[in-house]
Amino acid sequence: MNTKALQKAIDLSKYADNFKSRILLFIIGVLNQSANWKRTNSILKFFTSFFSKNGILPVRIRKNNKTVDFSLRINNNSDYQSLFECFAGMYKIPSKDIHFILDGGANIGFFTINTYLNNTGIREIVCIEPNPFNLEFLVPNTKQLPVKIVNAAMSDFNGEATFNFKEHNTGHIQGSPGHAYFHEQTKVDCVTIAGIMPNNWEMKHTLVKLDIEGQEYKVFTDMFNAGLFPAYVAAELHDYLNAGGEELVAKFKKNGYTVHVEGTGEEGNVCRQIFAERKTA
């Protein structure tokens, strides 16, 4: 592990509001960046067991005079990865002018919590999450926030679809690009962005975040067709090279957005993270 990676783990731990949470966040930061250090990982995972209760890790964080308590599953790589991505800078989110958040693929709430802590003007949040096992954590994790939770998947139609279980952070609608395997299935309701976004939200103060495992291509196209142009968009585009990532970025630019794209890999099933901002006159 290099100095830069260690600093990221330290920065993550600074969110903590107590010593126990600081240690846990530091460990999670290290685990996310030391996949090849198997012995170190085993030791760190062993230490987390001292902080767990019935397989659950409680964490308390604080920023801008706001405190949030949340829980995650012990030694769950999906939870650790999601926490690290959302709190360690994967999403380039402004710290002002956001009043409304639509969080598609909310998982267990990390993106919503972090954005809430870093913005002082949040009025309303809608979290959309289809995975019932994630909902067991999303609901209590966001109870201190102005959140409405919708148990559904996002796509470009209203109705029922087959949902494939994979890892906790990569479950997906059957047929989504970039996903070839799964271990179980269920049926879920689907909603459109126009149908789920409150009519009273001002677009100039709205942030839309999508991490919906390939359905983002349909949802963003549907969003533009519906005449919805939120000021800020953060998303992970799955199978970017093969599913139309560059074409989608071009659509954003055509609709008045400045788009920042991050990610590596030039072959196979790779993801790109985008942050798009639309200036209004």
Q: What is the pLDDT of residues 14-62, one digit of tens each?
A: 999 999 999 999 999 999 988 778 888 889 989 898 999 999 999 999 9
Residue 92 banded pLDDT, cuts 50, 70, 90: confident
Taking the CA atoms of 215, 218, 221 and 226 in sequence, report the sign of the dihedral they define. Answer: negative
Q: What is the pLDDT of residues 184-232, one digit of tens each?
A: 889 999 999 999 999 999 999 999 999 999 999 999 999 999 999 999 9
Q: What is the pLDDT of residues 122-170, one digit of tens each?
A: 999 999 999 999 999 999 999 999 999 999 999 999 999 999 988 777 8
Rounded Cα–Cα distance for residues 121 and 6 (Å): 32
Question: What is the chain's Cα-based Rg?
Answer: 18
Domains and CATH numbers, the chain: 1-80 (no CATH), 89-278 (3.40.50.150)
pLDDT value at residue 187: 93
Is the pLDDT higher at 211 or at 178? 211
Record the pTM.
0.93
pLDDT value at residue 201: 97
Mean model confidence pLDDT for the chain = 92
pLDDT higher than threshold 90 for residue 4: no
**Secondary structure of the chain in the HEC alphabet?**
CCHHHHHHHHHHHCCECCHHHHHHHHHHHHHCCCCCCHHHHHHHHHHHHHHCECCEEEEEEEECCEEEEEEEECCCHHHHHHHHHHHCCCCCCCCCCCCEEEEECCCCCHHHHHHHHHCCCCCEEEEECCCHHHHHHHHHHCCCCCEEEECCEECCCCEEEEEEECCCCCCEECCCCCCCCCCEEEEEEEECHHHHCCCCCCHHHEEEEECCCCCHHHHHHHHHHCCCCCCEEEEEECCHHHHCHHHHHHHHHHCCEEEEEECCCCCCCCCEEEEEEECCC
187 burial via Cβ count (<10 Å: 0-12, 13-18, 19+): exposed
